Amino acid sequence: MAAKAKTLHDAFYETLKDVYYAEKQSVRALKKSAKAAEHAELRSAFETHAEESAEQVERLQQVFEIIGKPARAKTCEAMQGITSEMEEDLEDFGDSPAADAVLAACAQAVEHYEIARYGTLKTWARQLGYEDAAKLLEQTLEEEKKTDALLSQIAEQINTEGSEGAAESDQAPRTKKTKA
């Protein structure tokens, strides 16, 4: 018996389940990052986006309703990889001057993934005639872009602040070895 050909609707639903999982993981990662962040503005950005992400999860539930499918999460391997890398980086850099810079970089990896997925979902929703879903996905996409821009701005401050002493220690005098 031949398998049913997969459609764009199938791809939309599978990707929606993937993003639903990813967004739920993002909420957890943002809360953990907020606790770990030393830089006040970075901590605040994480806290704000965690709240925003919780609203995005609710929006995704609305999209599931619009397409007449149950809101189910499907394990997102990409998000698992990104959050696993964040855990490693927190362990490696947690007590270092670079910790906040690393946290911001990890958060931006999440944002970039989400921007890619929400852009795709918005386009597919329009192609499938789900205008209301497309509007909800567009709203989330714009929030993700805004958060990414904010993280870039904060990261530049953190990287500048964190690198001030590094240049001096990297420039320590080196002794030349001479042949006797």
pLDDT band at 97 (very low <50, low <70, confident <90, very high): confident
Is residue 62 included in any domain, yes or no? Answer: yes
Kindly report the CATH number assigned to the domain that includes residue 24.
1.20.1260.10
What is the helix (H) or strand (E) element at residue 109, kind and residue range?
Answer: helix 99-127
Share of the chain above pLDDT 70, in %: 88
DSSP-derived secondary structure letter, 39: S
For residue range 101-145, list pLDDT tens digits in order: 999 999 999 999 999 999 999 999 999 999 999 999 999 999 999
Is residue 155 included in any domain, yes or no? Answer: yes
Is residue 128 included in any domain, yes or no? Answer: yes
- How many domains does the chain contain in total? 1
pLDDT band at 154 (very low <50, low <70, confident <90, very high): very high
